[in-house]
Structures are given as structure tokens and as C-alpha cells.
Structure 1
Amino acid sequence: MPNIKSHIPYPQQVLQQSELLLAPIPLQSYQSKLQLPSPHSPMNLEHWRALSEPSSDHSPVLLTISLDPVIIPRPPNLTPGLTDWDYFRHSLDSNINLSIPLKTPTDLDDAVHRFTQHIQQAAWLSSQSQTRPARLQYYNLPQHIRQLITAKRRARSRWQRSRYPSDRQHYDSIANELRNVLSCHRSASYDNYVLSLSEHDKSLWRATKRLLHYPNVSSPLRRADNSWARSDEEKAETFASHLRLMFQPLPDSDPVNTSRVLEFLDSPLPLSLPPPPFTPSDVSFQISRLPTQKSPGYDLITSQVLKNLPRRAIIFLTYLYNSILRTSYFPLLWKFAHIEMIPKPQKILIEPSSYRPISLLPLLSKLFEKLLLKRLFPILETQTVIPNHQFGFRHHHSTVQQCFRVTDQISFALEKKEYCGGVFLDVAQAFDRVWHPGLLFKLKRILPSTYYLILQSYLTNRYSVVCHGEKLSGYIQIKASVPQGSVLGPLLYLVYTADIPTQTSTSMATFADDICLRGIHSLSQVLNDLSSDHSPVLLTTSLDPILELSPPTLTPGYTDWNFFARSSDSVIHLRVPLKSPDELDEAVQEFTLAVQRAAENSSQSPTPNFNTRSINLPQHIRLLITHKRRARSKWQRTRYPSDRQHYERLAYRRFNNKTCGRLLPSAIGIDGNPMQHGASMADEPVPAAPMRCCSENDAISVDDLWPLFY
């Protein structure tokens, strides 16, 4: 920093009469620069956020930088270098014995263990480890740019020797010309690179990942007792403790139903024909279709290793798969998962819940699941187990097609000037809370006894460990959920949620764990049926009957009630976020009564008045709307994060219960007569409407009320 005192032409004075402070005036002007580090910079930046407190003309930014370097260990690999695949096949052929008994579960576990060891030893013996050379970047510049670089170096060398001003001017001229030419060349090269991206060769995906990827950071974890886990071993145990609580069934809310399900599971199975065995050609075909880039499980066997298995190894693997069909036992080693914790985007990384668990299963297990899946699909399709409204994990079904179904019915209701209501539910931890007895209850009623016993063995006694860095946690027993990262997991979840009750008067749209109920004048009936005691037993405690969802199974940010109505030329869209599952039933019933009353008024009057422009709002709400408009307009012009935060603070300002109780019932016209312009809201009594607009903890934003104002 320059010495300010040396640039003061006159001393600092304070005039007592006017209290005027004369600041020092420097003789030279110094340019102040504010540099912000990028998230992609080499520094170990954990996260950053803009502060909303106005401290100066600039928006303060809080940076969290870790002092520990991030050491990314090289993942273990069976084939780290060049591999002699001929020697691999010869070594594996000499170690495999096809004359072994496979009659009991113990024999099957021992055979799987020996087969895995033979593959690993053959891969290690046939591979040569080598160090990767440093990756050098060579830029193929055009000839005229290389000539400019040479001329610039000569001009700089000449000026450094002579120090003549003319040589300095010549050097600056060439340097500026080279800078402009390089800038144009980089721009043209980047344009050509963007045009060359394609979705077929994964180049577009790699470019997107490179832009959106954030560097790994070393952040401590907060334990349940508010202590900190800093080493890799402590972090692995902290993640394991978090996952032990996650992979647990929900508390038993219906003991009678639970005893009924367990009693049915203990009943004897009916006789069924043995399934047809697998052939070596079936196994070879599935191996050839394995993707190359899939991560291996704990055994480190990759798809490349499986594609180089000799004929004798494929026959032995077929023996193992057929013994699973014969004994109805799934090997224990193939139920062991290796969990990697991946940080979620834009989350504070000190909480274990800010990480997403990724389970890595052995490829030999996934290969058997693919073979078994081809046997299960025809049975489920014959019995039409999966409903037509389910578009998740199904061939020729996508989210776009499901959105077309939802918007088509809403548009149809608006065109007929009717009322359409919708309940949008998102079940949190839906796959992690699947109740195993409830799932087996459904599978026993659908599948033959052999397939049921295989899936029963497949779901029970599953274990996993968390890997962080080079440390492993203790064993985690999976007591609930469908296996993550498996092939059969999505299908089992579809079977588990296939019996959601539906009605002909309403429409249901589901995509995996996202549920949308839509109806015209009859939505309250289906919601009452879903929350009544007549719900099927198959809706177990892991996915309670829609409205009886316990708090851990409902995502507040993605669960809301939407009301679409159209009368004459005006459209009303009222959206109320639901913060807890207990408010869902009450809000739905009250809104349904409001819709029915509005429908009765509209049937009496051919053109009911829904002119919401005549609402006389309180002064503080009008000021808030004006400030919100200005903040939104400013943010749309500047796109600064600080302007957006200021806009969001105004948009999501909480209203109290008194204001909402006076505003919303009159706004939607529950009594058929909205407030006229000029009427004072303080003088009007609160309408006796059969609905509760919001509680003290409900957040209704200005955006939610915006369609009612205009």
C-alpha cells in the first residue's frame, strides 16, 4: 500500500463551525481492484455465499477455505497397466475345477469365494504396473502466430539490451498485435470445439461435467454430539452412523397390519415348477452387453475382465447361477456393497446429510440380476402388476410424456371452465425406507415360489461399508430399502408401490416416487379414501397411505396443493406449500370445500364474478409488491447475485395469520362476492369460510399470491 502521508499537500483540518473534515488528497490515483477467487481455482475452496447485510457499496462474500490439502488416492485396479489377456485366460483355465458340489448354500458361498479369488490372481499375474507419464499439452499454433511469437521474443531481447524508447515501442506494438491474434485464435478454436460436441460420442456430457464439476475439498464433518470428525477414519464412521439410521424401517404405526403380514409370510408356499436353467450363451450375451465404464464393486472385477473370461470360466459361472435357481439362495458375498459418499451440489459439506451415498455392487451379482430380470418381466406384464400411470423405470416412458398427461387434463378442465385440483407429493427417502416384509408380502402373492425365495434371500442379510479416502468404516446392516445401484432395485420399488388406490373419477400420474393426483370436483373423495381405514394392507408403513405420511417421508419443498380454476376470462392458480404432512389432509379438505362452494355459486350464476383486480389490499402489502417489482426488474437487468438475494427476500416475506385470513378467502371469492374496490379491509369482518389459509409457520410468498392480485 502506498504511503498516504507523503501525498498530502496540506494538513488534515477540522473546521469547528461546520464540522467539515478535509480528507487527504493523493497526488497520484491508485486503482483499487477487487478479485474474487473462482470455485475452479486451485485453492481449497469449500463453499461461498453472498451476505445480505449491506456493509458497503459492494456485496460481501463469505468464503470458507480449507487449510488441509486434498489428496486423492489412486483407486485400486486389477489391471493397472498393460495386461496379457492370453496369459490371463490360460491361468484362469488351469485353476477352475468344474467337478465341485453345489448343493447347499455353504457350497455356493465357497464356490463364489474361490471363483473371485481365481479371477483376481489371474488378473494380477497377467498385468504389469506402470507409472503414468506427465500429461503435456502441445498447442498446434498456425505459422503466422509462431512468427509473431519469435518476433516478439527478439524485440524483447533487443529492448532489454539497449533500453531505447524506440525499441520499447516496437516491442509493445508486436506484443499487442500478438495478444489480439491469440485472442481471436482462442475464440475461433473454442467455437470449433463447441460445434464439434455431440451427444452420441459423450463429448457433450464430458464438456458439461468439466464446467459444472467442483473440486474436491477436505471438510470436517459434524457428528450427532456436535463434535467434529477430521480424519478419514472418523469421517467414514460418521457416514456409517448416518446410514445406519437411514436404512431402517419406519416405526410400526399399525401392529394389527404388521402381524397380519408376518403371518402371511410364515404360511407355506404353494408348489411350482422349477424355473428353466440358464445357458452359457445367455451368460455370454449379457457379458457382451455390459458397459465398459461401470465402476466395479469391492472385488475390483470390471466389465473388461469379464469380457475376457475363457469358455471354461463362463461355464463355471453358469453353474453358479443355476445353483442359485436350484437352492433359492443368493450368495452372501454378492450382497456386500461398497458405498462412496458424493457431495451434493450447493450444500454445506459439514453435515453427513449433504452427501449422497453411491453403492457399488459386484458385477457378477448384477449379471445374475440381469438374467433374472428377463424372467420376472413377463410374469409382471401378464398379471399387469405395474399400473399404467407409472412412468418410472419403464421402457418407452419418459418424464416428458408424463408431463403431457398432467397438462392435458388441466387444459381440458380450463377449456370447459371447470375446476381442476391437484396434489403433488414427493416422498423423501422412498427407496431407503422400503419395508421388507411388506415387499415380500406382495411378491409372494405374485411370483412363483422359486423366484420369491430367491428374492427373499436377495433382500435379507445385506451389508455394506463406507469408504472415505483409504479408510473403511464398520459393517452396516441394511434392514430396509431396495438395494441401491442394483438392477432389480427399481423393479422391486415399482412392485412395492403398484397398489396405490385409484378411482375412475380422478387421474393419477406417478414417476418413481413422485405422485400427482388430479381431479375435477371429486378430488376430496379420493383423498378421503386414501386416508381412510379401508386402504389396502399392501400400503405398508414405509409408504403410508398418502395423507398419513410421517414427517421423515415427506419432502416439504416439493409437496404442495395446487388449485386451477377458470371462469369467464380469468384464471386463478393458488398454490400453498405444505410444511408438514399433518397440514396436507386439512388443507386439501378445506380447499375442496371452497371449490365445491365456488362451483355451486358458478352453477347458479352463468358468469360468476372473479374480478380479482378490485381487491383493496393493505398499504404494507402494496408497498411490498412495489418493492418486489423493482427488485425483480433490477435483478433481470443486472443478474447480480446480491440483487437476486434482495429480490428473494422480498418475494418470500412471511405474512401473519391475520393478514392471510382476511386476504385469501376474499381473493378467491369463496362467498361468490369478492371485495369491491375502495372497501377497507380493516372494516370488513373476516369471511366465515370453511378453510384455513395458512398457519403461523406457513410461508406464502408474494409469488403465490401474485395471480390473485392481477
Structure 2
Amino acid sequence: MEGYVCYRADHPTGRARGGAVVLAKQDLAHYHLHTVTSSDTQLAAIMVETPLGEILVAAAYLPPNIPWNRAEFDSLADSRGTALHEALTPCSAQVLATGRPTHFPYNRQSTPSCIDFFIFKGIPNSVLSVREEYDLSSDHLPLLTTINTAAQRIPKKRRLVLPGSNIQRFKAELNSLINLNTQILSVEDVDAAVQTLLDQVHAAAANAAPAHIYSAPTSQRPRTFSPILEGLLALKKRLRREYVRTQDPTIDRIYRRIANRVRKELIISKRNATDTMLEEATADESSKFALWKLSSRYKRQAAPKFPVRLPDDTWARSPMDRAEAFACNLEERFKPFETASHARIQRVAQILEAPLQINRQKEPM
């Protein structure tokens, strides 16, 4: 697939059976962890960088014809039935599923089952959602989960000279923007002058490039931090530039110390925001019932939803199929009772179809 990096865990026999795969976009900040390709387990895992921290994303396939026990899933965090519960409870992991079956056997005598699900740990329930996909026609119903957080992107390399750029116009624009009379008295003036020069070069490139090719970098949504954290971030950025320029180990030690301080301040800021949210949450309308919303999302598990059989003896997979099955069942179940005679039914129908006499008839003079 173009634009994606593929991490596969094929079955060791090389035949078209089993296997797991993880697809990641090329501009997604991630790295590969490990791959398991044994006869009873195929697993592919990557680590993705997000504002919530590093999230481990793994795809695992375990064939149902091999007996499983808890010991086999202490490291994989996966199982079924009672063994699944026994493996996940000690590590405080949770199951994310729709509650509906995901495997519909071709044999109509077999009962659909739920064998596709997600296991997560350390991620808030409020940022997770799961839904079914009905585009495929196999006996498995794919599940799609979404983590509502912005992933870290690998910045694209910017090119100054793009196809179709006007080089002569670029030179003229740059000559008109550059000011050679800039006064430099300190290290901060050097950094400011370098940044100004870079901005002028990019501005000249934007004016010289075709309008349909050049696109300015999109600015991220501004974040609000405390004044202490803003100062630490600015100091960290300045120390980083100074260390790149001088390679002084003393500056590197100070930079690492400030980076640790920034990390601790971010944790404190996040904790204070959570405490404030919990303190302001009430059970009445003043906070829009925030307390009930928070408690209802705490370790909420999907309720099991049993499979529905269609009139043609097949299983309902999509919501439209389930609605059609219920409609047919209600149509067969609820029918009018014909207890009256045929003549009385016709008489009642004539009365119902007759026009209504709203005004009283005028008496003859």
C-alpha cells in the first residue's frame, strides 16, 4: 500500500493461513518493536508517539484449534473466555468490543461468535471508540477502533527550488528582502538574525514557486501553559541551540536537567487540570451532569448482544439486516384477530370511510 509501512507476521508454513499485520503511515512517528511468527501465535507490534505518551499497537492472531491457557498470555495479553479474564485482571487491562458477534460461520448450523476484539491498558476510555465495518464479504466482521488524540508526525522536508519555480524572481525577491545593515551585539542577536534570514529565504521561495505547488506550513493550534512552563520551554529551546553550536558537555547537562524539569511540570500541569475538572464536576445541571458522565465512562464494558437469524436461515450482520429481521418478526407476530363476522367488518369499514358530519344539519323552516 503506497504511503504506508507494512509490518507483517506471516505463518511459518508460508501458506495462506493465519498471520497478522500492522500498517503505519510513513509520516507517523513510530518504530518497530518485534515480530512473533510461531505456529500457534503470529504477532506484529509497533510503538507510536502521541501526546498521551508512547502507545504500543500490536496485531495478534491465535488459531482457535489450539488450547490456550493463562500462562501463554501473560506476555501477549490475549485469551478467550475465563482465561482471558484471568490474564487481564492482574495487569488491569480492559477489553474493547462492540458486544456483537464478529465471526459468522458459513455453516448455518454453527452459532456466530465474538473472536475479534481489542485489548488496551493505560489509555482513558473517553478517547477510545470502536465500530464495525461492513465493506468486506468474508466470514469475519472487521472492527475499527479510534484513539481520539493527535499522533506525532514526522515533519516533511521542505524544498526551496520546486518544479516550475522562477529562479530569477527568487533572486530578485531575496535581494529586496535582505537587510545587510543588521546590528549584532549578542548571541540572541545572532539567533534572531539567522531566523530572520531563514524566513526571508522561505518567503522568496513562496513568491517564486507556482501557486498550485507551494504550500506554507500549517500552524498548530496554540497551547496555553503556565508562565513557569513557558519560561522553561524557552530556556530548553535556547540551550538546545547553544549545545548544537558549541557541543559543550556542561550545556548538555544543563539541557537534560531542564528537560527533566519540563517533563515534571507537564505532569503536574496535567494532574492539576484533572483535579480541577473533578472538583468542578457535580451531579446537577450546573456542570451539565459532568460527574455522572465521568462515572459512566469508568471501565465501561460493552454489553453482549446476541446474534439474530434472518428468515432465510442466515445470520444478520449489519444494522440493516437486524432491522429487517425484527420487522419480519413483528409482522408475523402481530396480526389482527378476525373475531367478528364479515358483514360486521364491512359495516365498520363503511362507517370509518364515511365523511364526518361536523356541523349539525339545519332544521327545516
TM-score (norm 1): 0.18
Report the TM-score, using the length of structure 2 for normalisation: 0.31
Structure with more helix by fraction: 1
